Structure 1
């Protein structure tokens, strides 16, 4: 067994797709196939079940995957111990995050990361909560960002990397606008606009009321944050959204912020496969931690 074969096998095992594995490794698909077949020949076992529509690990393949993780990790540890130098991050790094974070929060961090690690090819995909989860489950991505809690049942390592201030917004001229503060009782009589159930922003809206009392009436469920903000501006109702998502609307005066002292902050969580963290992903995670420490 060669380490290159093990790395190729592990990538195929994580993606369960020869084409995607080839893209991640920057190999021709035929090279990936040849390496896996060579490993199977050396070991005298079949590592993948190719009979169905979807590629699957065999029992032998599942056992080897555990050892491949350990061997590759040990090889890197040995290289660092002998040379005294950590591996220079390079290659692809794919990250999925909510569109608001991609547009407003990530660009400075991505720019700094690129300046420090120019050999890493970044791919940032604005994605909904379900797509981030699927990307992690199917090893399509290296890192995923969740606004709000990490979905239960997802077998990943995760860490809170930031907190987002929330804003309670109302149309200009609303009866509660201009007050020094509002109460849950006053808000309970108002109609609210929210995104759909299962969306991170809907969970944020509901968590804002966890200790305040019963949820107010949701008069409309709208598919995007931008559309929610526009509905508020038009006078349809109030909304609870991340402050960063409505910065432009607040600056233009399209909506106004109401002060509700009970409004919490939304946690931002980064998640990754604990068994497979590439040097590039590890470097991005370190920079994220540094950035958070600087903001404190």
Structure 2
């Protein structure tokens, strides 16, 4: 019967107004549309709801009984529908957001107070995870929005670029004192590296942008750790070289705990070694006001 909600409301208005024309005026539709809705409702119910008395329509006993029930329930149903519609339009409730902790710390955290001040009834649930896990949580519906450092191979996700990060190679002064400062590709290839994962995230794009796509990637990866802060800590401990986002290593460079490495002049590619960050969400995500507010805020940064 929910599919006939409009017709039921029309029936109730006609019962109060007395004529199709008066009810049509109150509903903002034509008298003809009122008549069509009532006829469709009578066919659905299998019973006559009105009888004509001159120019007025009078409820049949069956119609009067139905209107009496509508007076009990229809206003509450309409109020519930209006409340649901208002909830859809209001920036209110929780939005979950996932992504890499170092980027959130640098890029997202300084911006969050403004978003939350603009929408006092918005609630954010922020969690930190690696891109593959964030993509999976998005597809499962456990996250509303995600920040990814790699383009996901997931047709069910929408992605938009939101920021870029520049990659730099760094080493501890103690490491360079022991092993020497590399210059060209051959020198770098002989050094010990700390990598994020087996795909050499950050390291591989930096290497190709610096030395060109034909130069073999470094083979001496002495440690893989899927945590940027831990990678930096290992660099500071003198374990090896690492390629990391410039914003992450900036404090350590200022404090001279690590130094940035510059390959031999003239051997570098014209391309700057950068990575792109993406905002991602499910294509089937419900476009609630709170979801749209956070998504559009992220994309506008």
TM-score, normalised to structure 1, is 0.62
Quote the Cα distance in structure 1 between the aligned partners of 2:154 and 2:296.
25
Question: Are 2:271 and 1:270 aligned?
Answer: no
CA RMSD of aligned residues (A): 2.7
Question: In the alignment, what sits opposite 2:129?
Answer: 127
Give the ranges of 4+ consecutive aligned residues of structure 1 lying more than 4 Å apart after TM superposition. Answer: 260-263
- Gap runs ≥5 in structure 2: 4-80
Superposed, 1:22-61 pairs within 5 Å as none
Deviation digits for residues 180-219 of structure 1 (CA, Å, limit 9, x no counterpart): xx44333222221112226xxx322222234342111212
Quote the Cα distance in structure 2 between the aligned partners of 1:241 and 1:91.
36
Quote the Cα distance in structure 1 between the aligned partners of 2:111 and 2:145.
14
Indicate how the Cα distance of structure 1 residues 2 and 139 shifts in structure 2: closer, same or farther if over 3 A, else same.
farther
Q: Does the Cα contact within 8 Å between 1:87 and 1:279 map onto a contact in 2?
A: yes
Deviation at residue 2 of structure 1 after TM alignment: 6.0
Aligned pair partner of 1:176 in 165, 176, 181: 181
Indicate how the Cα distance of structure 1 residues 154 and 176 shifts in structure 2: closer, same or farther if over 3 A, else same.
farther
Q: Does the Cα contact within 8 Å between 1:109 and 1:288 map onto a contact in 2?
A: no
Question: In the alignment, what sits opposite 2:153?
Answer: 152
Question: In the alignment, what sits opposite 2:292?
Answer: 282
Quote the Cα distance in structure 2 between the aligned partners of 1:152 and 1:222.
23
Aligned pair partner of 2:259 in 256, 259, 265: 256
Quote the Cα distance in structure 2 between the aligned partners of 1:194 and 1:89.
41
Quote the Cα distance in structure 2 between the aligned partners of 1:113 and 1:92.
13
Quote the Cα distance in structure 2 between the aligned partners of 1:141 and 1:247.
31
Question: In the alignment, what sits opposite 1:191?
Answer: 192
Quote the Cα distance in structure 1 between the aligned partners of 2:165 and 2:181.
24
Q: How many pairs were matched up?
A: 205
Quote the Cα distance in structure 1 between the aligned partners of 2:289 and 2:203.
36
Quote the Cα distance in structure 1 between the aligned partners of 2:132 and 2:201.
13
Question: In the alignment, what sits opposite 2:245?
Answer: 242
Q: Does the Cα contact within 8 Å between 2:161 and 2:279 map onto a contact in 1?
A: yes
Q: Does the Cα contact within 8 Å between 1:193 and 1:221 map onto a contact in 2?
A: yes
The more displaced of 245-254 and 123-132 is 245-254
Whichever of the two has the greater Rg, that structure is: 2
Question: Are 2:220 and 1:222 aligned?
Answer: no
Indicate how the Cα distance of structure 1 residues 93 and 164 shifts in structure 2: closer, same or farther if over 3 A, else same.
same
Quote the Cα distance in structure 2 between the aligned partners of 1:289 and 1:223.
26
Q: Does the Cα contact within 8 Å between 1:97 and 1:132 map onto a contact in 2?
A: yes
The more displaced of 86-95 and 118-127 is 86-95
Indicate how the Cα distance of structure 1 residues 197 and 154 shifts in structure 2: closer, same or farther if over 3 A, else same.
farther
Q: Does the Cα contact within 8 Å between 1:137 and 1:154 map onto a contact in 2?
A: no
Question: In the alignment, what sits opposite 2:108?
Answer: 106
SS of corresponding position for 2:283: coil
SS of corresponding position for 1:152: coil
